[in-house]
Chains A and B, each alone.
Chain A
Amino acid sequence: MRLVPTPEQRELRDAVCSFLAAASPMPAVRRAMESEPGHDPEVYRRLAGELGLTGLTVPEERGGTGAGHAELAVVLEETGAALLPGPFLATTLAAILLTETGEKEILAGVAAGTTTATVVLDGNRALNGAEADVVLTIDGDRVLARTDGERRALRTLDPTRRQALVEPGGEVAAVSAAGIARARDLFAVAVAAEQLGVLRASLEAIVAYSRIRVAFNRVIGSYQAVKHRLADMHCTLEQAESIVRYAAWAADEAPAELPGAAALAQAYLGRACFEVASGSLLLHGGIGFTWEHDAHLYYKRAKADEVLLGPPRVHRARLADLLEL
C-alpha cells in the first residue's frame, strides 16, 4: 500500500498548483463565476490541452496519458483547493466512465481536451450540464450519450460550479455492468480528492488568518479556544489525506479493496470537508459571513461536494453492506 506521493506525483502537483496560482487565482475565480459561461474557457483549454489533464487516466492507446488514479487525486486536490470553476470535474468523471466501459470515440475528444462532457448523476441533474458538449447517462449496464436535448441551468448554492437539468438518454455508447460499477467507485475517489483540497485550503486560510488577526491585544491564534479547534481540524486533515491516498492506491493497485475504500472515502471526506470549511468560516468572525471573503465559497463547495454523489447516509449504508453488517 502506498500512502505517500511519489516524487513524480509531487512534481505533478507542483505543476498544477503553479499553473492554477497564475491562471486562476481567487480574483479570477470570482470573475469567472460571475461571467456568462461561469468559468474561463481559456483556463480550461490550457488545463486540458497544455497540461493534458482531461486525459490523465485515459490509456495511452486511447489518446490519454495512461496515468493512475493516485496522479488524478493529486490533480483534483489542487483544482479543489483553488475552487477551479468549470467543467473539469464533470469531464473527468465522464472520462472515467468512458474509460472503464471501453468506449473509444467520445473518449478520444475528451482525452484530447476538445470535448467537454458530463455524467447525469441522479434523476436528470448534471454538473456543468448546460455547457457540456456531451451528456452521458447510465442506464442499467449501458452508457447512453447525446449532444442534443434540452438543458436548463439551475441556480446553485456553490457559485463556483454550475449544474443543469438535462434530458437523459441518447445513443448507446458502451455496455459494461462491471465497468459502470467500478466507475461509480472511482467517482467517489475523485470527488474525495477534490474534497481533500477544499479541506486543506480552508484550514490553511484560517491558520494564516489566526496568526495576524488581533483581539484583546493578542493574535487570535494564541487563544486555546481557537488553537484547539485548529488542532482538531489538523487531525481531521491527516486522516482525510491518509484515506484519499489509500483509496487512490486501491483504485490503481487493489481492485478488490476499491469498493470499501471508495465508500470509506466518501463517508469520511464529505463530513470532514464540510466541518473544516464551516469551522474555518466561523473562526474568521464577521468577515467570514461577507460575500467578499472567500470563506463562504469554500463552505459552499464543501456542502455541494458532500451531497454530490448522494447524501452521506448513502455512503454509510454502502459501507454497512460491504462490511456485511
Chain B
Amino acid sequence: MDLEEYRRRARTWLEANAQDGPDGRAGGASDPGGVAAAKEFMAKLYDAGYSGITWPAEWGGQGLTQAEERAFAAEAAAFTLPTYVFSIGLGMCGPTLVDLGTDAQRRRHLRPLLRGEEIWCQLFSEPAAGSDVAALQTRAAATDGGWVVDGQKVWTSVAQHADWGLLLARTDPDVPKHKGLTMFIVDMHAPGVTVRPLRDMTGRAHFNEIFFDGVHIPAENVVGRVGDGWNCAVTTLLHERLSIAGGVGMGGQKDNPVAFEALRRTADTADPVVRDRLVELHIRSRALALFNQRLAQETKAGIFPGARGSAAKLLLAELTMFQADLATSLAGPEAVAWIEDGPGDASPGGTGNGEGPGVGTGDGAGGDGGTAGGDGGLAHAVSLAPAMALGGGTNEIMRNIVSERVLNLPPEPRTDKNVPFKELRTSGEAPR
C-alpha cells in the first residue's frame, strides 16, 4: 500500500474511533479511571493494526516501516489520543526487546504491551546519574537463580501505573563504568519495589521516584548479556529520541492552545509585530514537520536516520519552548492569572482533567478576554514545555550526539572511561 493510501485509511479509522477528549495523561496518579479508558482505547488501536506499526509481525506488530508509523502519527496529530501512559513502552522498552530480547521475553511481553494490557516504564535515571546515565549506582548482585537489586531511580515517567520496568543497574563496580552495567526486566509489583509519585512543575505527578529494596529478579529477565547493559541502553535511547521526534504515543496537537491554528484565532493579527511572530512560528513548525517527513521517507527508502533523530528531538524541544513562550507572551496577563471555573480549568495544583488544555480554545470565545489564556491552558503549556527539553536527554546532550555521531567530531577528553567505577567522583562529593 502506498503511503498516501495508508494515511487515508488511518484518517478514516481515527475519525471513527479516536476520542475527542483529554488523553491518558488525564488524571495521572489521581485518576485510575483515565488509565482504564486508555487501556480500552489501546486494545481497539491494536486490533485495528495501528499499534506496533514497525514491529515484526512475529511478535504481534505490523511489520511496516517508520514511514507508516510517522504517517500515522501525522494523521493522529489532528486528534487527541489517550496513549500517553503507553508511550514509554511503545517508544523505548518494546523496541529494545524487539532488538535485544530473548524469544521467550518477546513472546511473554510484546503483545500485552502493544495491546495496552500492560504498562511499562524506563528505569535509567538516578539522583546522581541523568545525562551521565552510566554513572548510576543501583546495584544488582548475583544470587541463586537470579539477582537482588538495591538502589533508587528517579524521574521515572508513568511508573505509578507500570506493570513492568526496563531497569539499568550496576552488576560490577570494579570495572570502568560503561562496562559494569546490565539491563533487566523488572516486575513493578514485586516485593521490595516502592513507587512514590513526584510532583512536577505543572503541579501534577507524572513521574516518580522508585526504591528497590532487596528486589529479586529471575535470571531469565536479563536483557542482552550481563555486563553489556550500556550497549543495550544506547539502543533504548536511540529509540527514545526517534520516537519522541516522531511523536509516537504523544497524542495530538488538536486543541493545543499554543499551536499556530489556535494563536491565529486569538492573537491580534492587525499588529505587524504579532503577524511576524506568527509567521516565525509557521516557518519553524513547517520546517520541522518537513524534516520529520523527510526522515520517514528516507527510512522507507532504506536510509536509517540513526543519530539524526537527535537533531529532530533537539528541534522539537526548541520549538516546544518557543511556541509556549510565544503564546503566553502574545496573550498577556490572562495567560498567567485566570478565574478557576469548572471543567476547562487546568490550573497547576488543581485536580486537572488532562494534558488536553481544555475548552475555550476552539473559537476564541473561551477566555474572558476572548483569548486562549483565560482558562489556564496557556499557563499549563508554558509549565509543561521544559519537559521536552529535559526528558529523553537535554539539549546539550543532543548537541553532543549530533556533533559526534552525525558530524563525526571528536568527543571531549574523558577522565572517566578507563577507571574502575568505584574510584570515580559523583555529585555532591568534594573534588579529589
Q: Is the CB of A239 within 8 A of B290?
A: yes
Give the chain B neighbours of A221 by CB distance below 8 A.
Answer: 403, 409-410
Q: Is the CB of B288 within 8 A of A207?
A: no
Within 8 A of A (CB), among B387-423: 396, 398-400, 402-404, 406-413
Of the listed stretches B128-136, B148-156, B271-279, B335-343, name the one at the interface; the rest are far from the partner chain. B271-279
B403's partner among A227, A241, A268, A316 (CB-CB below 8 A) is A227
Given contacts A235-B311, A242-B294, A316-B276, whether A230 and B283 have CB atoms under 8 Å apart is no
Q: Is the CB of B294 within 8 A of A3?
A: yes
B225 contacts chain A at the CB level, 8 A cutoff: no
Within 8 A of B (CB), among A177-226: 207, 210-211, 218-219, 221-224
A231 contacts chain B at the CB level, 8 A cutoff: yes
**How far apart are the CA atoms of A320 and B280 in the complex, in Å?**
10
Question: Which single residue of chain A is at the shortest CB-CB distance from B299?
Answer: A4
Q: Is the CB of A243 within 8 A of B286?
A: yes
**How far apart are the CA atoms of A221 and B402 in the complex, in Å?**
13
B282 contacts chain A at the CB level, 8 A cutoff: yes
B264 contacts chain A at the CB level, 8 A cutoff: yes
A222's partner among B314, B402, B413 (CB-CB below 8 A) is B413
Interface centre among A210, A242, A264 (most CB of B within 10 A): A242
Q: Mark A218-259, 1 if CB is under 8 A from B, else 0.
A: 110111100110111011001111110110000000000000
Q: Is the CB of A4 within 8 A of B298?
A: yes
**How far apart are the CA atoms of A315 and B48 in the complex, in Å?**
44
Give the chain A neighbours of B406 by CB distance below 8 A.
Answer: 231, 234
Q: Is the CB of B291 within 8 A of A242?
A: yes
Shortest CB-to-CB span from A241 to chain B, Å, is 7
**How far apart are the CA atoms of A170 and B311 in the complex, in Å?**
51
**How far apart are the CA atoms of A242 and B288 in the complex, in Å?**
9
A243's partner among B280, B287, B312, B409 (CB-CB below 8 A) is B287
Question: Which single residue of chain A is at the shortest CB-CB distance from B276?
Answer: A316
Q: Mark A287-325, 1 if CB is under 8 A from B, else 0.
A: 000000000000000000000000001001001100101
B17 contacts chain A at the CB level, 8 A cutoff: no
Q: Is the CB of B308 within 8 A of A238?
A: yes
Give the chain B neighbours of A235 by CB distance below 8 A.
Answer: 311, 314-315, 402
Give the chain B neighbours of A313 by CB distance below 8 A.
Answer: 276
B30 contacts chain A at the CB level, 8 A cutoff: no
B410's partner among A219, A242, A319 (CB-CB below 8 A) is A219
Q: Is the CB of A4 within 8 A of B297?
A: yes
Q: Is the CB of A222 within 8 A of B399?
A: no
A82 contacts chain B at the CB level, 8 A cutoff: no
Give the chain A neighbours of B298 by CB distance below 8 A.
Answer: 4
Q: Is the CB of B287 within 8 A of A268?
A: yes
Shortest CB-to-CB span from B240 to chain A, Å, is 18
Q: Is the CB of B407 within 8 A of A207?
A: yes
Question: Which single residue of chain B is at the shortest CB-CB distance from A246?
Answer: B290
Give the chain A neighbours of B282 by CB distance below 8 A.
Answer: 264, 319, 323
Give the chain B neighbours of A22 by CB distance below 8 A.
Answer: none
Give the chain B neighbours of A238 by CB distance below 8 A.
Answer: 291, 294, 308, 311-312, 315
Q: How many residues of A contact B (CB 8 A)?
A: 37
**How far apart are the CA atoms of A102 and B413 in the complex, in Å?**
62
Given contacts A320-B276, A323-B279, A323-B282, whether A245 and B407 have CB atoms under 8 Å apart is no
B62 contacts chain A at the CB level, 8 A cutoff: no
Within 8 A of A (CB), among B144-177: none
B291's partner among A4, A227, A239, A264 (CB-CB below 8 A) is A239
Give the chain A neighbours of B287 by CB distance below 8 A.
Answer: 239-240, 242-243, 268
Shortest CB-to-CB span from A316 to chain B, Å, is 5
Shortest CB-to-CB span from B13 to chain A, Å, is 21
Give the chain A neighbours of B312 by CB distance below 8 A.
Answer: 238
Within 8 A of B (CB), among A1-54: 1-4
Q: Is the CB of A231 within 8 A of B275?
A: no
Q: Is the CB of B290 within 8 A of A243?
A: yes
Question: Which single residue of chain B is at the shortest CB-CB distance from A261?
Answer: B286
Give the chain B neighbours of A316 by CB distance below 8 A.
Answer: 276, 279-280
Within 8 A of B (CB), among A255-273: 264, 267-268
B269 contacts chain A at the CB level, 8 A cutoff: yes
Question: Which single residue of chain A is at the shortest CB-CB distance from B312?
Answer: A238
Q: Is the CB of A239 within 8 A of B279?
A: no
Question: Which single residue of chain A is at the shortest CB-CB distance from B269?
Answer: A325
Give the chain B neighbours of A228 by CB distance below 8 A.
Answer: 396, 399-400, 403
Nearest 5 CB-CB pairings of A with B: A227-B403, A242-B290, A239-B287, A231-B402, A231-B399
The interface of chain A, by Cβ under 8 A from chain B, is: 1-4, 207, 210-211, 218-219, 221-224, 227-228, 230-232, 234-235, 238-243, 245-246, 264, 267-268, 313, 316, 319-320, 323, 325
Query: Can you sample 12 A-B contacts with CB below 8 Å?
Result: A4-B301, A210-B409, A221-B403, A224-B412, A227-B404, A230-B403, A234-B311, A238-B308, A238-B312, A245-B294, A323-B282, A325-B264
